[in-house]
């Protein structure tokens, strides 16, 4: 099974060169990779049919107990097939969509799409939560790059950052939840967590874990109050919107909640919260869908509403809810991706994004228009489409669940709005006479038609013959979700039931919405304040507030005065050391010197003191520099006299280097003789310097009282030659025992130097430009 | 000064590079090692830059200091990889015994440190001395 992820990753790697090689046919060629993966996953269908799972394990980070365990059950197979199946169609579609663009653009886009597919497959296939989290974050990153694909547009950049902040921040919250689970149960394996669910729910951390996981899922699946990022993410090229922001990625939150619903089955508050949040999201999104103007925006808001329905369904208990969840995921992925494809073709053809300015496109895009109508009929929930079946199950799940009437009313209203949206997005741009488009820039090409046609006709075929897909896909997925095998009767006709009545009601209201769309739309546009409240105002408030705090704190802390920085650093060190000395257990000791002072050491110390005094008294910077140099070399000699030749050598080399670097700096400074510091400032500096010297003296003196623990030194001394083949213990420690520390240090040094090097780029005469 | 310093600097440069290499390779048994060796070599190049000009030092170095820094970091990192093969532990060194001489991935690790230090120091020194008229 690991091959699935490896092949997907390889596809991402070769997409760019392939675009140069195959030109306009790249989409068709590259689509073979997701297609092959689709078949590979489908071949496991028999293994998971009875609610079983295929498991493959590799050791990854044994010291942390993280295993690369892949697990394919019915539910992950549903996702895997959606990811690779729609991935195939998206690749074909993107090939046609980018046909007139440079090959490099198409290559970059396909590489990102396939990388995203890898991340998605990894997320739904991994059993270990840490591994899943890594892939989860990778989906956020690729989503960020795809939303910001047209990086020259400010709007795209803003939307990309917004989505990254929301989903990435939510990812961190989720990570905290995963770590808490690991701490509580001592395992990250989901299979084991599920088996020990009672233990987890009984632990004191259960509530916190549930909330953290819910927040992680809500950010990803755009639930209230994190719903605002998804409509803005429509800045992405349309194939990406169809793939990431309707069919797959935004359903990851649903995936996670569905998985953890089984874990928290015995905690009723979990389900109740989901029902409330889902219903709120449905309402908010439905209102915003009625008000939206852009073609893709309307679809995006209705996607948020659909995600709300799914969250609510997960919150409900029972077999029917499980079937309804799975059925709705499938139905929604089919019709929404198809509608996004149609929207993309319409926008691509006209360059116009507003629904108000699109009309009569059926003359130019006849096949797309048919696909749009088919898909929207499924979305509207009309028989014999799969959307109808899934909606029947939705109402049945609600009615059998004993919830009060409010969520049912919400569900009816929201479904009616979706029905209305479906009518508007398919009929208005393609068939309405008003705002007729007279010319189109691009017509239909086969690549633009395969995706919408296959998906839309899939909706009707599954609706007419639901048995096959019910046994193959929905049954195993619902069983995996429910925890025990379910006998699914995924049927088109259920007889005259209350659900059918509700469906009829939905369609009636939906038709009314289509008829009075303009009226409702204009009416809603007047309520600016309400919509600002349920928009991304909160997000902007938080982001702007953070930036404001950063700005004002930077003004205080980083005023650009080097002397002030030095003063602050020295003062903090003095305060810290003084506190440690006074509060520490050792207290304040000053050791009387044991043994006699050697004459050689005394002479060097005297030299060093003389250098220090000379530095303070020096009138010019050069003189001060030389005097400091005396102190430095004297210290090196002291190291030498006390048996630390390595240290002494380094000290001498660094000291010389310092002189060379400072000389270069001094050569650039104006040769000023007099100090620019006031008397008061100089007094303060004297105080700080004296305090620093005193506290360091006290620290060194009291440190020498504490007996040294020699066990480490002895160990290194004894084993250095035997294990590291070196007699210089210092060097063996650096390159062998603690080599990973050294590697980290040289990496830090290299990157810090690189930053300084970049900053020094323009050291010539400054040409300041007003910004 | 204008004659003696530039002339002698060539000689000193060669001496310092020699000493730095000596320091690098004897470092495992006696005082020295990649860090000290790198500092001494960097000082040699800095001497050239001061006595002649930065261009002369750049020519003597042959590669760009930033590239040297990156290459060194890569070398140090790569020398940890063989350990992964033998007992799955990064930076566990491999050794080759030739008589009493031990050569191993620890040596290449130290050479990496040597390169990072030279490259890091010199990319700053060159930047600072460029633009100052001699």
Does A757 reach chain B within 8 Å, measured CB to CB? yes
> Considering only A406-410, A438-442, A471-475, A695-699, which range has the smallest mean pLDDT?
A438-442
**CB nearest to B39's CB, from A653, A664, A734:** A653
DSSP characters over A309-344 = HHHHHHHS-SHHHHHHHHHHHHHHHHHHHHHHHHHH
Do residues A235 and A290 make contact, with C-beta atoms less than 8 angstroms apart? no
| Interface probe with A: pick from B17, B24, B27, most Cβ of A within 10 Å | B27
Whether A660 has a pLDDT exceeding 80, the answer reads yes
Chain B residues within an 8 Å CB radius of A727: 28-30
Q: What is the pLDDT of residue A246?
A: 85
Contact A725 B27 (CB under 8 A): no
Is A365:A486 a contact under the CB 8 Å cutoff? no
Instruction: Give phi and psi for B104, each to the nearest 5.
Output: -160, -175
Coil, strand, or helix at residue A489?
A: coil
Per residue in A443-468, pLDDT tens?
Answer: 888 889 999 999 999 888 988 888 88
pLDDT digits (tens, 9 = 90+) for A482-504: 877 777 777 777 777 888 888 88
Taking CB atoms and an 8 Å limit, are A750 and B32 in contact across chains?
no
Instruction: Tell me if chain B has a CB within 8 Å of the CB of A661.
Output: yes
Domain map (residue ranges) of chain A = 338-537, 712-765
Q: What is the pLDDT of residue A590?
A: 63
Q: What is the dihedral of CA A264, A265, A271, A272, to 10 degrees?
A: -100
The pLDDT, as a whole number, for residue B6 is 84
What's the rounded mean pLDDT across residues A216-230?
Answer: 91
Min Cα separation B118/chain A (Å): 10
> Which pLDDT tens digit goes with each residue over A80-111?
999 999 999 999 999 999 888 888 889 999 99
| Partners of A126 in the β-ladder | A70
pLDDT band at A63 (very low <50, low <70, confident <90, very high): low
Is A766 part of the contact surface with chain B (CB cutoff 8 Å)? no
Quickly state the pLDDT bin for A672 (edges 50, 70, 90).
low
ipTM of the complex: 0.87
- What are the tens digits of pLDDT across the range A127-171? 989 989 999 999 999 999 999 999 888 989 999 999 999 999 999
Q: Name which of B42, B95, B113 is nearest A742 (Cβ-Cβ).
A: B113
Task: Encode pLDDT of B1-52 as tens digits.
Answer: 578 888 888 899 999 999 999 888 887 777 778 888 999 999 999 988 888 8
Q: Do A649 and B28 touch (CB under 8 A)?
A: no
Check if B93 contacts A (Cβ < 8 Å).
yes
- Chain A: nearest CA to B129, how far in angstroms? 6
Q: How far apart are CA A729 and CA A726, in angstroms?
A: 7
Average pLDDT, chain B: 83
Q: Average the pLDDT over B66-82 and give the result.
A: 89
Q: Is the Cβ of A727 closer than 8 Å to some Cβ of chain B?
A: yes
CA dist., res. A310 & res. A308, Å (int): 5
Q: Is B94 in CB contact (< 8 Å) with chain A? A: no
State how far the alpha carbon of A303 is from the alpha carbons of A503, A764, B13, B56, in Å: 20, 55, 70, 65
pLDDT at A770: 37
- The most confident of the ranges A168-172, A535-539, A679-683 is A168-172
Determine, for residues A731 and B90 on separate chains, whether the beta-carbon distance falls below 8 Å: no
Q: Is B112's CB within 8 Å of A746's CB? A: yes
Q: Which residue of B has its CA nearest to A741?
A: B91
**A-B contacts (CB, under 8 Å):** 139
CB contact under 8 A, B27 and A653: no
CB of A61 within 8 Å of any CB in chain B? Answer: no
Query: Is A746 an 8 Å CB contact of chain B?
Result: yes
Q: Cβ of B115 under 8 Å from any chain A Cβ?
A: no
Task: Using a CB–CB cutoff of 8 Å, tell me whether A764 touches chain B.
Answer: yes
In B, which residues are within 8 Å of A653 by CB distance?
A: 36, 39-40, 43
Overall average pLDDT of the A422-438 stretch? 81
- Where do the structural domains in chain B lie, given as residue ranges? 4-129
Q: With a cut of 70, say whether residue A27 has pLDDT above it.
A: yes
**pLDDT over 60 (residue A674):** no
Mean pLDDT, chain A, as a whole number? Answer: 86
Does A457 contact B at CB distance below 8 Å?
no
Sign of the torsion formed by the C-alpha atoms of A581, A585, A590 and A594: negative
Token pair for A102: 């440079």
- Nearest C-alpha neighbor of A72 from the set A43, A35, A115: A43
Residue from B45, B92, B131, B133 to probe the interface with A (highest A Cβ count within 10 Å): B131
| pLDDT for A764 beyond 60 | no
pLDDT, position A766: 46
Closest residue on chain B to A645 (Cα): B31
Q: For residue A708, give the DSSP letter.
A: P
User: Alpha-carbon distance A580 to B83, whole Å?
Assistant: 41
Mutation target vs B (from A647, A742, A750; most B CBs, 10 A cutoff): A750
Q: Please list the alpha-helical segments (H only) found in A23-59.
A: 26-30, 32-42, 45-48
B82 reaches A (C-beta below 8 A): no
A647: contact with B, CB 8 A cutoff: no
pLDDT at A675: 60
CB contact under 8 A, B124 and A749: no
Q: Are A491 and A469 in contact (CB under 8 A)?
A: no
* Partner-chain residue, chosen from A660, A743, A753, that has the shortest CB–CB distance to B77: A743
């Amino acid at each position: 099974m690991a091959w699935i992820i490896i092949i997907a990753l390889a596809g991402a790697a070769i997409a760019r060169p392939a675009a140069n090689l195959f030109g306009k046919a790249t989409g068709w060629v590259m689509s073979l990779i997701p297609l092959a993966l689709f078949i590979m996953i489908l071949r496991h269908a028999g293994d998971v049919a009875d609610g079983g799972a295929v498991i493959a394990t590799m050791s990854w980070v044994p010291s942390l107990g993280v295993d690369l365990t892949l697990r394919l059950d019915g539910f992950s197979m549903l996702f895997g097939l959606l990811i690779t199946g729609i991935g195939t169609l998206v690749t074909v579609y993107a090939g046609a969509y980018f046909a007139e663009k440079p090959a490099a653009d198409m290559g970059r886009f396909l590489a990102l799409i396939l990388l995203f597919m890898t991340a998605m497959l990894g997320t739904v296939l991994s059993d270990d939560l840490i591994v899943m989290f890594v892939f989860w974050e990778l989906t956020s990153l690729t989503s960020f790059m795809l939303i910001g694909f047209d990086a020259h547009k400010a709007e795209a950049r803003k939307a990309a950052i917004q989505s990254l902040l929301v989903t990435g921040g939510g990812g961190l919250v989720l990570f905290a939840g995963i770590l808490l689970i690991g701490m509580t149960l001592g395992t990250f394996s989901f299979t084991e967590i599920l088996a020990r669910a009672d233990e987890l729910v009984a632990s004191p951390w259960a509530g916190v874990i549930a909330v953290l996981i819910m927040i992680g899922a809500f950010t990803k699946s755009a639930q209230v109050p994190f719903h605002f990022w998804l409509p803005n993410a429509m800045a992405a090229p349309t194939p990406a919107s169809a793939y990431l922001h309707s069919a797959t990625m935004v359903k990851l939150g649903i995936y996670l909640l569905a998985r953890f619903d089984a874990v928290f089955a015995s905690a009723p508050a979990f389900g109740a919260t989901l029902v409330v949040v889902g219903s709120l999201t449905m309402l908010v999104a439905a209102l915003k869908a009625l008000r939206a103007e852009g073609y893709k925006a309307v679809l995006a808001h209705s996607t948020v509403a659909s995600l709300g329905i799914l969250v609510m369904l997960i919150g409900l208990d029972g077999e029917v809810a499980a079937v309804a969840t799975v059925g709705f995921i499938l139905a929604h992925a089919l019709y929404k991706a198809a509608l996004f494809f149609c929207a993309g073709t319409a926008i691509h053809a006209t360059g116009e994004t507003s629904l108000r300015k699109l009309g009569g496109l059926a003359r130019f895009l006849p096949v797309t228009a048919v696909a749009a109508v088919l898909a929207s009929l499924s979305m509207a929930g009309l028989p014999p489409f799969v959307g109808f079946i899934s909606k029947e199950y939705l109402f049945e799940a609600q009615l059998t669940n004993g919830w009060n009437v409010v969520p049912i009313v919400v569900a009816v209203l929201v479904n009616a709005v979706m029905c209305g949206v479906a009518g508007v997005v398919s009929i208005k741009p393609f068939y309405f006479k008003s705002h007729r488009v007279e010319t189109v820039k691009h017509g239909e090409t086969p690549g633009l038609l395969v995706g919408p046609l296959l998906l839309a006709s899939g909706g009707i075929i599954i609706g007419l013959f639901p048995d096959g897909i019910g046994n193959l896909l929905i049954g195993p997925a619902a069983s995996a979700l429910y925890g025990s095998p379910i006998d699914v009767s995924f049927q088109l006709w259920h007889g005259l039931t209350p659900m059918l009545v509700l469906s009829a009601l939905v369609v009636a209201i939906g038709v009314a919405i289509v008829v009075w769309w303009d009226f409702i739309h204009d009416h809603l546009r007047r309520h600016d304040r309400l919509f600002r409240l349920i928009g991304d105002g909160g997000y902007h408030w938080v982001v702007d507030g953070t930036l404001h705090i950063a700005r004002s704190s930077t003004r205080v802390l980083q005023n650009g005065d080097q002397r002030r920085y030095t003063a602050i650093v020295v003062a903090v060190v003095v305060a810290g050391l003084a506190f440690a000395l006074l509060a520490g257990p050792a207290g304040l000791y000053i050791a009387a010197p044991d043994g006699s002072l050697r004459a050689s050491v005394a002479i060097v110390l005297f030299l060093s003191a003389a250098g220090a005094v000379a530095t303070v008294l020096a009138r010019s910077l050069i003189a001060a520099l030389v005097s400091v140099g005396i102190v430095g070399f004297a210290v090196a000699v002291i190291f030498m006299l006390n048996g630390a030749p390595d240290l002494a050598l380094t000290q001498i080399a660094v000291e010389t280097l310092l002189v060379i670097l400072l000389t270069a700096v001094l050569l650039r400074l104006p040769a000023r003789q007099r100090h620019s510091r006031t008397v008061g400032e100089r007094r303060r500096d004297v105080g700080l310097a004296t305090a620093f010297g005193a506290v360091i003296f006290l620290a060194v003196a009291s440190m020498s009282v504490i007996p040294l623990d020699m066990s480490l030194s002895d160990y290194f001394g004894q084993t250095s030659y035997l294990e590291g083949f070196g007699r210089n213990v210092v060097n063996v420690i650096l390159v062998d025992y603690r080599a990973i520390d050294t590697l980290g240090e040289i990496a830090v040094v290299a990157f810090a130097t690189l930053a300084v090097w970049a900053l020094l780029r323009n050291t010539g005469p400054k040409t300041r430009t007003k910004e | 000064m204008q004659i003696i310093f530039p002339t002698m600097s060539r000689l000193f440069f060669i001496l310092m590079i020699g000493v730095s290499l000596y320091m690098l390779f004897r470092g495992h048994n006696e005082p020295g090692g990649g860090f000290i060796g790198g500092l001494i070599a960097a000082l040699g190049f800095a001497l050239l830059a001061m006595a002649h000009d930065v261009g002369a030092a750049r020519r003597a170095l042959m590669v760009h200091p930033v590239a040297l820094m990156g290459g060194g970091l890569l070398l140090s990192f790569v020398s940890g990889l063989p350990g992964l093969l033998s007992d799955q532990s990064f930076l566990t060194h491999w050794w080759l015994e030739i008589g009493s001489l031990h050569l191993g991935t620890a040596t290449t690790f130290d050479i990496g440190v040597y390169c990072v230090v030279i490259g890091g120091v010199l990319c700053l020194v060159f930047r600072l001395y460029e633009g100052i008229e001699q």
